[in-house]
């Protein structure tokens, strides 16, 4: 278990740095539009799709790459994979509800969090 935790931590650090570099670099291409975040989310989703298929036989390295690197790079890839698993499992309605609930509840949560933070006296 400790080895898996260390692999996740190492991969997470590398993924976070990669995200920082991509968002900082690509994000400057179109000022005022979150192109860097979009690029990270799409690249992370592509990568987790590939790893989901290729790592089914190599479970030892999955913590480093999936939970670690991609978790630090983007959690959107995990959301995308969960949705794909529901869809491929024949649960199209649950997949659609999961997507809708994730987007709506996350947007509501970020708005609530910002409102709460703004209400705290400086």
pLDDT for res 75: 86
pTM (two decimals) = 0.79
32 pLDDT above the threshold of 80: no
Q: How far is CA 54 from the centre of its chain?
A: 19
As a whole number of angstroms, the distance between CA 76 and CA 54 comes to: 19
pLDDT, average across residues 69-87 = 92
Q: Is 56 annotated among the ligand-binding residues?
A: no
In whole numbers, what is the pLDDT of the chain averaged over residues?
A: 90
Query: Nearest Cα to 11, choosing from 78, 69, 70, 55?
Result: 69
Q: Is 72 annotated among the ligand-binding residues?
A: no
Query: Nearest Cα to 83, choosing from 65, 72, 70, 97?
Result: 97
- 90: confidence class by pLDDT, cuts 50, 70, 90: very high
As a whole number of angstroms, the distance between CA 57 and CA 104 comes to: 36
């Amino acid at each position: 278990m400790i080895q898996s935790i260390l692999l996740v931590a190492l991969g997470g650090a590398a993924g976070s740095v990669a995200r920082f570099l991509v968002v900082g670099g690509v994000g400057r291409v179109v000022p005022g539009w979150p192109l860097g975040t979009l690029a990270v989310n799409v690249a992370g989703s592509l990568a987790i799709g590939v790893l989901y298929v290729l790592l089914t036989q190599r479970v030892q390295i999955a913590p480093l790459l999936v939970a670690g690197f991609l978790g630090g790079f983007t959690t959107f890839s995990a959301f995308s994979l969960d949705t794909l698993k529901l869809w491929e499992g024949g649960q199209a309605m649950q997949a659609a509800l999961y997507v809708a609930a994730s987007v709506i509840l996350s947007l509501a949560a970020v708005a609530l969090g910002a409102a709460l933070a703004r209400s705290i006296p400086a």
